[in-house]
Amino acid sequence: MKIEKDKVVSVHYTGKFPESDEIFDTSIEREPMEFLVGHQNMIQGFEQELLGAEKGDNREFTLLPEQAYGHRNEDAIQEVPKEQFPTDLEVGMMFQAQSDQGPMQFSIYEILEDTVKIDFNHPMAGKTLKFNVEVISIRDASEEEISHGHHH
Ligand code: ZN
């Protein structure tokens, strides 16, 4: 069985930043990651690179920002009053804001005298990512899983 749309796949993966070889995430020592292929559960390039792979295969690939979390958008940086934040504020801290579309994550981008610049870009936006993936299992998705668009 090969990886294609409407298969439920479980993989072990390790993600690194190619410049530094720093690991930003890995499933090793956790449960393998499971997902339904072809329903936008994963970043697009990740699925694309796994299509056609079989159980036991190892794949290594590098994704440019446009295949991963997109490019950074400087319009996603906003300046807000500092008094809304705790006094031990540091650059890089993550917070959550409530919006019409539900909760949105942002990080502290810059701390100024009376204001703070906050950044709504995805933390991985603008980054090139290198993955090493091992296919652990592949199975057909049930009709219910396909209609829900995620695995059960
Ligand atoms: Zn469901």
Q: Would you kindly state where each structural domain of the chain is located, as residue ranges?
A: 7-69+124-148, 74-119
Ligand 1 mean position, distance from CA 73 (Å): 33
Specify the fold of 74-119. Thrombin, subunit H (2.40.10)
Q: What is the CATH number of domain 7-69+124-148?
A: 3.10.50.40
d(CA 118, CA 114): 13
DSSP 113: S
- Residue 101, pLDDT score: 82
pLDDT in tens, 109-150: 999 999 999 999 998 999 999 999 999 999 999 999 999 999
Ligand 1 mean position, distance from CA 147 (Å): 8
**What are the structure tokens assigned to 129, written together?**
């990512």
Ligand 1 mean position, distance from CA 102 (Å): 20
Burial of 147 (0-12, 13-18, 19+ CB in 10 A): exposed
- State the pTM of this model: 0.81
pLDDT in tens, 98-115: 888 888 899 999 999 999
Residue spans of beta strands (DSSP E) within the chain: 7-17, 22-26, 33-36, 58-63, 77-81, 94-99, 102-111, 115-119, 129-140
Ligand 1 mean position, distance from CA 36 (Å): 11
